[in-house]
Amino acid sequence: MTATRSTIAIFLFSLVVIVSCGDDLPTDHGAGPIDSHFPNAIGMLWKYQVYDSLTETTDTIWFSITDTATFGADELVTERREKHVVADYFGWRYLHFRADTLEIFDDSVGVSANERIVFPLELGSSWTGPVAVDDTSTVTLVGQIEVPAAKFSNGARIDRSWNLDFEGGGNWSQTWVVPDVGVVSRHRRSQFSDGTNITVTTNETWELIEYDLTTFGLRQFPNKIGTAWVYEEIDSVSGGLDTVAVTFDTVTVTIVDSGRFESGDSYTLWEFVSRNGIDTQYVVTGEERLSFLHDTIFSPLWDIYYDFPLAVGRTWGLESFAPVPEVLDKEPVVTPVQPFASSFHTRMYGGGFNDYWTQEDWLVPGVGIARIRRWQIGFIPWMNRTWTLIDYYLAN
């Protein structure tokens, strides 16, 4: 599965277990329909605060779009990575969008869906769901909804019920969907009745606390002749006897040439200038991969490559026995040249023959690498090096 997806409501619904039924959310009745304009690209990220009233615990759950695939003419399947921060749980879910209908699957599109959304979301519109004959959803409110992430004026609330019985048991949910954002709030309640007593089995509240819909495909990485970045380098080197020597330098990286190898892969030649001299590296692009190839002398970018598009939870291979590289998070990064509201924070490892390294990078779409932190031990001098962007120029 690759490329882009109409994840449209994708994460929106991934919050399958959202609970609690409450009408106390601030809302205004509205009119206009909510169509299927939902985030739909690899790399988008949502974070929710989830409160379980039964256990009186709160968790943070991340949903990241990590892959997509298209079937037939108009069927799109989106893979979503799910991370429960407190519970330390990871999982996947899949969203299948066909024409005006979105279906959410817990594990595989080969089994029955768990939820269905039919667009456009107009006040009073309703549809049947995939779980049971009494699985029904209705849009009961269109208007304002406020959550920790923001206040939205154009949300639609979907009230759903399924597997009800005559003794008070069943399932209910209320889900707020905002176009171009996704699911922003959800309450879900489930209870079981034995004919005499009712036992609540699920009662959760989900609220959107943060979301970042930026994406980072290979074409968004500046890689033209004339592009240049200037970094402040801070390097800590062991001086022996528990002493550490800290040195400072300025490193200018400029793209000076480009071409194509016999293999057909395109490359650009990057020149690194510091007080230690001049070094060069080939930066190779092929399909959706960008690789830094070792050239003459050691470089802090040695053994590095990225598979695009970047997305939290995605990993890619590395010729090493160490853990595979991954995108840890999307987060702001502050540099002397300017603060960047969104960056992809990556981490990778490598080594062998008693030479081991770890590197973390912060990559900004349309800018490149804003920050690098590298640790290394082994035959070469021990390293604890940070590069921070202090200036840059992007060639047209």
Per-residue pLDDT 10s for the chain (396 aa) are 433 333 333 333 333 333 333 344 444 444 445 555 678 789 999 999 999 999 999 999 999 999 988 876 678 888 999 999 988 888 888 888 888 888 998 876 667 899 999 999 999 999 999 999 999 999 999 999 999 999 999 999 999 999 999 888 999 999 999 999 999 999 999 999 888 899 999 999 999 999 999 999 999 999 999 999 999 999 887 666 677 788 899 999 999 999 998 888 899 999 999 998 999 999 999 888 998 886 654 444 456 889 999 999 988 875 555 568 899 999 999 999 999 999 999 998 877 667 788 899 999 999 999 999 998 877 656 778 999 999 999 999
Beta bridge partners of 70: 76
Contact of 383 with 375, CB cutoff 8 Å? yes
Q: CA 95, 96, 99, 101 torsion: positive or negative?
A: negative
Q: CA 50, 171, 11, 345 torsion: positive or negative?
A: positive
Beginning with the edge strand found earlier in the chain, give each strand of the sheet holding 57-71 in spatial order.
Answer: 115-118, 101-105, 89-98, 75-84, 57-71, 45-52, 198-212, 182-193, 170-178, 150-162, 136-147, 126-128
| Confidence at residue 107, expressed as pLDDT on a 0 to 100 scale | 72
* Distance in angstroms (rounded) separating the CA atoms of residues 161 and 30: 23
Of 198, 5, 223, 194, nearest to 95 by C-alpha is 5
pTM: 0.85
Of 279, 275, 232, nearest to 256 by C-alpha is 279
Domains and CATH numbers, the chain: 10-211 (2.40.360), 218-393 (2.40.360)
230 Cα distance to chain centroid? 28
SS (H, E, C) the chain: CCCCCCCCCHHHHHCCCCCCCCCCCCCCCCCCCECCCCCCCCCCEEEEEEEECCCCEEEEEEEEEEEEEEECCCEEEEEEEEEECCCCEEEEEEEEEECCEEEEECCCCCCCCCEEEECCECCCCEEECCCCCCCEEEEEEEEEEEECCEEEEEEEEEEEEECCCCCCCEEEEEEEEECCCEEEEEEEEEEEECCCCEEEEEEEEEEEEEEECCCCCHHHCCCCCCCEEEEEEEEEEEEECCEEEEEEEEEEEEEEEEEECCCCCEEEEEEEEECCEEEEEEEEEECCEEEEECCCCCCCCCCEEEECCCCCCCECCCCCCCCCCEEEEEEEEECCCCEEEEEEEEEEEEECCCCEEEEEEEEECCCEEEEEEEEEECCCCCEEEEEEEEEEECCC
Of 391, 334, 330, nearest to 365 by C-alpha is 330
* Distance in angstroms (rounded) separating the CA atoms of residues 226 and 393: 8
Measured CA distances, 266 to 12, 263, 279, 292, 304 (Å): 39, 9, 20, 12, 17
| Confidence at residue 21, expressed as pLDDT on a 0 to 100 scale | 37
173-197 burial: b if 16+ Cβ within 10 Å, else e: bbbbbbbebbbbbbbbbbeeeeeee
The encoded tokens of residue 337 equal 């040249």
